[in-house]
Each structure stands twice: as structure tokens, then as C-alpha cells.
Amino acid sequence: MSRPAPSQAPRGIAPELLLSQVRNTAPYVFDEGVIDTPPATFVRELDRAMPASLSHAEYFRLCVSAHYLTCATPVPTDVDNQIRRKLWAPGLPLVTALEMGRLVLESRGWDFTPLTSRASYGAKGTEWEHVPLHGHAGEWFTVAAGAYAALGQYRAADAKTLRASLLEAIARETEQHSQIFGSLWRAKDGVGALLASVSIAHNFGDLDRVIDMWDLPITDPLRRDFHGLTTSPFDAERNLRHMGRLWTAGELYKSVIDGSSMALENHRHFALRKPRGLRARPELRVPLGPFFDAWGARVATMLEGESLLETIDALVAGCERMPTTAGYARALHAIREARPELHERSDALTKSAHFRALLETPRDVFEARWNDAALTLLDEIPGRA
């Protein structure tokens, strides 16, 4: 733990070590012109010339940047609780808290799409067609909720105004999630709805956890209006919230399809932490499961030699550990198509009827089956309310 200077609020990991962790999991961040977003720019500036000491707000910005840069990579940095709670120590000077809170509010406008391969979009032909939905919005929810809760300790007008702005921004982001999912539902885009359900379930689950972490009272607007949106369609007075869309997305996320579910498919991918070749390029970041065909094709063409073999072995091991899932087998299907000379590396999976079918089924047939299953579920789920 880095040692705080006198009167400095407690901190966690040393800045130099945090930068090394970012480099370990996402080395391309440090290459000029590859990722040009505010967090990447800030991290590169510190990497070139680390000051003798960072102010508390600068240290917070570093932690937020490192988290945004790595949360969709094989090995995310472990600063979640720092940016959500611990760096908002009681008695933090107002000027510092305001600087941190304004950074959080500003960061909602950052383009996170270069930092993730897990973005989906609204329905084609609608105003939401090019609006991304991804897990970084959930990471933003968590730091926004932390900032909102922490600013509640101050009586200054600036703190109250900033707190209100954060709450309003959370409301706008929530409505955007609802509208994107609604556009897909209306368009009968089953695969699109499945992909959106992952981000919605994760993002509002994360928001719930931070609201609980700060123990906000039931009367607080953040808890009252935004807690449990994917676990109940109604508020405390039994009023339908967001037309039930966010709850429907949460139900779709955990509903069974072909013995699996979006919840089972979108786990933490521990099996893919070992192959270091997957860390070399942003194009090799893991996408939303189980739709891994395109990613598998990239793996087959971008990796060679031991890096490719190590990745195939990790995918096979992942299948064996999660015998009802489909995503890793879909990646292997694409790799086997592109690199038939490597079939034997994954042939052991053909002993399982489940995996043999996944390795042999064409992509369009597989995705059509999941699309149709999603549409059936979307007709059925409202009756669960």
C-alpha cells in the first residue's frame, strides 16, 4: 500500500504497480494511436513521467482509468472497491470530493467502445441503432453511485448540485438501457435482446451492490428509484418501472436456452487468463457469449504457434469445466474451420454429443436457434410478473 502524506486520505495500490498491472493485461494501451480515450491518454502520460506524488484526485483518476482500461480484459485490475468507496474517505476535503465527482460525471461522456469487445447496439433502423450498450456503463454506474453517496456528507451548495447532477445522469443512463432493450424487443431481434440482457443484468446488478455497500436508506432517491430494477418490475407501490423492460432483460439473462443461459455463458472467463497471446491485441478481447464464432475466427488468424495452441487448449479445458455451455465450443468451431490441421487439438470434445453438435453446427443455424428461443422467452417472461 502506498504511504499517504500527512493529511492525505488513505490509498491502496502504488501508482507504479497499478500501471504495471495495466501493461500486463492490456499492453497495447501504451502504444500511441491504438487506444485514444481519456483514461488511456492519462495512463500514458503517467507512464512517461510519473510525478513524485499524486494528489488524491489524481490518484482517484488513475484508479478509475486503470479500471476502465482493464475491466474487459483477461485480468482486470483490483481497484473496484477503491473507486466505489474507500477513496471517498469521511472528512475528504470538499474541493477534492468535488474534483473527483466532476471527473465521474465527465466520464459518462467518454467513448468506451475502444475498450471493450462486449458492446451491443439497439435495433437497426431506429434511433438506437448506433448507441452502444456495454458493461462499462455498469462500471460508470458504480463510481457514480459511490460519488453520489459520498457527496451526501457535505452541506455546501456545490456538493448538492453535483449530487443532483449525478442522480440525473444515472436516470438518463437507465432510461437509455431501457430504450435500447425496448427497440430490440419491438424489432423481434432475439440475439440482440440476448446480448443487451447481459449488459443490463450486469450493470444494474453492480449498481445494486454499490447502493447496498453505502447502506443508502430506503428513502434515498437512488435506492428508491434505481435499486432492484432487474429483479422486480414494480416499485414499492406496485407501479411498473420502465415498462418492465429492465426486469424482462434480467429474466431473459438467466433463462435456460439449450441447457445453458446468458448468465452461464458470460462468466469471468478464468480459463482464458492463462493464454498470454490473447492480451496482445484489442481485437482478441473476449466478446459476449455464447456468440464466439467471429472471435474464434480472429484467434485463428491472429495467433500462431504456441500462442494459438495454448488458446485452443484453454478453450477445451473451459468446455470440460462447464459442460453445458456453448461459447467456447463455438470459438473452437470457427478455429477448426480456419485451421483444419489443428482438429486433433480439440477432438476430445467430440466424445460429448453436446459439444460434438456445437463443433459441427454452422454459425447461422446456431444463432437462429438462440434467436428463436429468445423470442419465445420474450413472449413468456411477462407472465412471470
Question: CB neighbours (10 Å) of residue 155?
Answer: 8
* pLDDT per residue as tens digits for the range 77-131: 999 999 999 999 999 999 999 999 999 999 999 999 999 999 999 999 999 999 9
Say what the pLDDT of residue 383 is: 96
Q: What is the DSSP string of 279-330?
A: GS-GGGS--STT--HHHHHHHHHH--HHHHHHHHHHHHHHHHHSTT--HHHH
- pLDDT at residue 7 in the model: 47
d(CA 253, CA 262): 5
Preceding amide of 290 cis, omega within 30: yes
* pTM, two decimal places: 0.95
CA 103 distance to own-chain centroid: 20
Q: What is the pLDDT of residue 1?
A: 38
* Among the listed residues 199, 196, 198, the one whose alpha carbon sits nearest the alpha carbon of residue 183: 196
Instruction: For residue 13, report the phi and psi dihedrals to the nearest 5 degrees.
Output: -60, 145
What is residue 136's predicted lDDT score, i.e. its pLDDT?
Answer: 98
- Environment class of residue 86 by beta-carbon count within 10 Å: exposed (0-12), middle (13-18) or buried (19+)? middle
Which of 70, 76, 212, 200 has the alpha carbon at shortest distance from 135? 200
Report the pLDDT value the prediction gives residue 8, as an integer from 0 to 100: 65
Residues in the chain, pLDDT under 50: 1-7
Neighbours of 362 (CB within 10 A): 11
How many other C-beta atoms lie within 10 A of the C-beta of residue 384? 10
